[in-house]
Amino acid sequence: MGKCTNCGAALDPGWKFCIACGASVTAPNETRSNGTEADETTARESDTPSTPTRESIPSAPTRESIPSAIRSDEPDDEPLPRKRMDAAIIFGIAMAVGGGVLIILVAMALFSPRG
């Protein structure tokens, strides 16, 4: 299990997004190099004005909807397989029909006029 780079929550290998914060989870072959982190820290340490101007304040980014947070191994376009009737269900139906026929035969024998 990995950890989210944004919030540190435990991640399942099949997840596309962190379930705690919603951050995108990078695949194992898309890991960041050590040089990228060093570049980010130097960019933060560069000379920036202490008070931001109106133009430099970014607006809130719009979040895209998450289509599916869990990766599936099979495509979604395939129809579901048709369920087969279990042998126990078929046996139960046959016993119910046989019991009904037996009740009708016994009722006919008991209540038929004798002659």
Q: Which residue range(s) make up the domain with 2? A: 1-74
Q: Is the pLDDT of residue 1 over 90?
A: no
Do 61 and 40 share a structural domain?
Answer: yes
Do 58 and 18 share a structural domain?
Answer: yes
Q: Is the pLDDT of residue 95 over 90?
A: yes
pLDDT at 31: 47
Do 100 and 67 share a structural domain?
Answer: no
Contact 71/26 with Cβ under 8 angstroms? no
Grouping H, G, I as helix, E, B as strand and the rest as coil, residue 15 is strand
Do 40 and 3 share a structural domain?
Answer: yes
The pTM score is 0.29
Average pLDDT over residues 25-37: 55
Structurally, the chain folds into a number of domains equal to: 2
Residue range 39-90, pLDDT digits in tens: 555 555 555 556 656 666 666 777 776 666 666 666 666 677 777 778 889 9
Average pLDDT, the chain: 74
Do 87 and 49 share a structural domain?
Answer: no
Do 91 and 48 share a structural domain?
Answer: no
pLDDT at 72: 62
Do 64 and 101 share a structural domain?
Answer: no
Do 61 and 112 share a structural domain?
Answer: no
